[in-house]
């Protein structure tokens, strides 16, 4: 297998009229997905676009997914950009990517017109009316190789500039095959997608849906406010498999919704991106005693998830749920400061090798080289590893456990955030002299301290305009002076206790 479109071709051939993607109201069958994407591919090909990234500036919907594969049909790569990402991030993406082609829809045309962008812009609906050129598309596929760029997704960067992680067909195929083995997807799988389409988390649903001829429901995000309605939605659409961030799962368990409502079809619950609080996990297991619960771990730089652990036992108080073992065809090494493998029971940096390594950061060779490095244990031939910056160890049972981060990167509501990006965004506001962000891991609160003449309200309003939703602080606290450590650095621990003492 060379190209992810082979999944789509197979599904469209064997199950043309089956529902592939839907939000519950509007959906597309596999045949429709294939037709739309081939029309878009033909359009792009005729306009002479080849092997370049194509920005898909569209809201989360089935059409957007068809647009992704439309770009791929033309031999291009897709770059999802959702208006929900906030203006500053979108501008950062355009700056880093310097795109030549954007696909937009009615709902995003106004936004596009206000961006500093002068390349080609095509309307999705217009593109889908193109007559498909089967021969030309076959020619494009003929010349494809599996290391071709498939997508670029943007993630938080510590200096305030977003980083574009570029993945190839090879790494996605490798990931999807391994993930599917572990989670046991089939044609009967009905996914309930929770994550946005502009993060790698959605690969878990989008691609296995094609591979198995399954169905994915894009759950409207408003439902994650109202637990009983969310459960109704899951039951109505007979959703049996969910891969959600922990904070989405706790909306059901933490509100008692699981106790008085039944989830009739759910049988596989995968979670990750964050540590699942034991008590919440226990509530889920009690509500669904027959379901499988699988903890997933992995950085965007290694396509999706790299490790998995199936929950089958209870945990000691305070014991974190392990991240278990690497997927097939993935290797994990724990390296210490001397770039040696750590002894069992000692902490080390989680370093990952295998075909699931992505191509690195788009348009940023330096940053790529700093984390995608030669395996220090191999002096004989080229062997890349990804240094994740996550610290882990092996527990007594030989299971991999996530311990901490090496830097100021945190996970908040399932999203990866560099505190530095939030700080530099706030410092860009006139009236803010200094901005320091801390994370209360107990209560999952993102707290920003500022000094200067700006008020909390002004800062919050400014940040809401400039940062993606998930990066909005939970509180902004103005300070006259920042507490310092003995070395004269800002005392983040003290800041956290100021917040907790409020």
> Where does this chain bind another protein (CB under 8 A)?
221-222, 224-229, 247, 250-252, 254-257, 260-261, 413, 443, 445, 455-457, 460-461, 464, 469-470, 472, 474-476
Q: Give residues with Cβ within 8 angstroms of 469, minimum separation 6.
A: 84, 86
Closest to another protein by CB, 136 vs 282, is 282
Q: Give residues with Cβ within 8 angstroms of 370, minimum separation 6.
A: none
Residue 459 tokens read as 């800062």
Closest to another protein by CB, 173 vs 463, is 463
Q: HSE-up of 480 (CA within 13 Å, CB side)?
A: 0
Candidates 492, 404, 501; CA nearest to 448 is 492
Residue 161 tokens read as 């500039």
Closest to another protein by CB, 233 vs 372, is 233
Candidates 414, 418, 408; CA nearest to 467 is 418
| Distance of closest approach, residue 370 Cβ to another protein, in angstroms | 32
Eight-class DSSP state of 150? E
Distances (CA, A) of 157 to 12, 183, 402, 450: 39, 31, 22, 20
Closest to another protein by CB, 34 vs 194, is 194
Closest to another protein by CB, 138 vs 225, is 225
Measured CA to CA, the distance from residue 230 to residue 237 in angstroms comes to 11
H or E, element range at 268: strand 268-272
**Phi, psi angle pair for 164, to nearest 5°:** -100, 110
Closest to another protein by CB, 90 vs 446, is 446
| Distance of closest approach, residue 266 Cβ to another protein, in angstroms | 16
| Distance of closest approach, residue 129 Cβ to another protein, in angstroms | 33
Closest to another protein by CB, 221 vs 405, is 221
Measured CA to CA, the distance from residue 120 to residue 100 in angstroms comes to 6
Query: Cβ(284)–Cβ(293) under 8 Å?
Result: yes
| Distance of closest approach, residue 61 Cβ to another protein, in angstroms | 18
Closest to another protein by CB, 35 vs 456, is 456
Residue 132 tokens read as 């498909």
H or E, element range at 38: helix 30-46
Closest to another protein by CB, 115 vs 460, is 460
The residue written with tokens 């409502």 in the block is 261
Closest to another protein by CB, 85 vs 103, is 85
| Distance of closest approach, residue 436 Cβ to another protein, in angstroms | 18
| Distance of closest approach, residue 498 Cβ to another protein, in angstroms | 14
Measured CA to CA, the distance from residue 341 to residue 344 in angstroms comes to 9
| Furthest C-alpha separation in the chain | 70
Closest to another protein by CB, 16 vs 220, is 220
Distances (CA, A) of 255 to 33, 247, 262, 280, 321: 37, 12, 14, 10, 22
| Distance of closest approach, residue 221 Cβ to another protein, in angstroms | 6
Within 10 angstroms of residue 315's Cβ, the number of other Cβ atoms is 13
| Distance of closest approach, residue 502 Cβ to another protein, in angstroms | 9
Q: Report the relative pairing of strands 149-155 and 120-123 from DSSP bridges.
A: unpaired
| Distance of closest approach, residue 188 Cβ to another protein, in angstroms | 29
Candidates 254, 253, 256, 295; CA nearest to 273 is 295
| Distance of closest approach, residue 106 Cβ to another protein, in angstroms | 19
Q: Give residues with Cβ within 8 angstroms of 184, minimum separation 6.
A: 268, 292
| Distance of closest approach, residue 473 Cβ to another protein, in angstroms | 9
Closest to another protein by CB, 425 vs 476, is 476
Candidates 133, 121, 13, 153; CA nearest to 73 is 133
| Distance of closest approach, residue 192 Cβ to another protein, in angstroms | 15
Handedness of CA 129, 132, 133, 139 (dihedral sign): positive
Measured CA to CA, the distance from residue 103 to residue 138 in angstroms comes to 22
């Amino acid at each position: 297998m060379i190209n992810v479109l082979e999944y789509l071709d197979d599904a469209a051939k064997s199950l043309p009229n089956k529902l592939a993607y839907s939000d519950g109201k509007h959906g597309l069958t596999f045949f429709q997905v294939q037709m739309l994407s081939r029309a878009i591919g033909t359009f792009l090909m005729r306009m002479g676009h080849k092997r370049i990234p194509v920005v898909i500036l569209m809201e989360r919907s089935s059409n957007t997914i068809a647009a992704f594969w439309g770009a791929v049909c033309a031999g291009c790569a897709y770059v999802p950009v959702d208006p929900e990402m906030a203006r500053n991030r979108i501008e950062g993406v355009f700056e880093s990517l310097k795109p030549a082609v954007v696909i937009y829809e009615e709902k995003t045309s106004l936004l596009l017109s206000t961006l500093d962008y002068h390349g080609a812009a095509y309307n999705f609906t217009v593109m889908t009316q193109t007559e498909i050129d089967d021969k030309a598309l076959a020619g494009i596929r003929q010349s494809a190789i599996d290391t071709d760029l498939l997508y670029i997704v943007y993630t938080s960067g510590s200096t305030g500039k977003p980083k574009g992680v570029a993945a190839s067909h090879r790494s996605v195929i490798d990931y999807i095959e391994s993930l599917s083995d572990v989670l046991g997807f089939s044609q009967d799988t009905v996914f309930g997608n929770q994550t946005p389409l502009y993060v790698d988390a959605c690969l878990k649903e989008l691609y296995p849906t094609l591979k198995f001829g399954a169905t994915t429901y894009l759950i409207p995000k408003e439902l994650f406010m109202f637990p009983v309605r969310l459960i109704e939605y899951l039951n109505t659409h007979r959703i049996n498999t969910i891969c959600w961030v922990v904070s989405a799962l706790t909306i059901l368990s933490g509100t008692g919704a699981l106790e008085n409502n039944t989830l009739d079809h759910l049988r596989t619950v995968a979670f990750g991106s964050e540590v699942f609080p034991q008590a919440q996990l226990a509530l889920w297991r009690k509500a669904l005693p027959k379901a499988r619960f699988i903890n997933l771990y992995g950085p965007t730089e290694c396509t999706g998830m790299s490790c998995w652990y199936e929950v089958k036992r209870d945990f000691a108080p305070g014991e974190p749920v392990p991240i278990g073992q690497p997927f097939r065809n993935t290797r994990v090494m724990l390296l210490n400061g001397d770039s040696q493998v750590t002894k069992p029971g000692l902490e080390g940096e989680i370093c990952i090798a295998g075909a699931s390594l992505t191509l690195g950061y788009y348009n940023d060779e330096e940053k790529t080289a700093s984390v995608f490095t030669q395996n220090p244990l191999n002096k004989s031939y080229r062997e890349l590893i990804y240094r994740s910056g996550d610290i882990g160890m092996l527990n007594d049972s030989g299971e991999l456990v996530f311990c901490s981060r090496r830097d100021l990167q945190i996970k908040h509501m399932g999203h990866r955030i560099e505190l530095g990006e939030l700080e530099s965004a706030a410092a860009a506001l006139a009236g803010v002299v200094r901005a320091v962000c801390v994370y209360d891991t107990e209560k999952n609160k993102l707290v920003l301290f500022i000094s200067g003449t700006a008020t909390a309200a002004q800062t919050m309003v400014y940040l809401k305009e400039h940062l993606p939703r998930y990066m909005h602080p939970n509180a902004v606290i103005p300070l006259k002076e920042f507490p310092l450590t003995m070395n004269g650095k800002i005392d983040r621990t003290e800041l956290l206790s100021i917040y907790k003492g409020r």
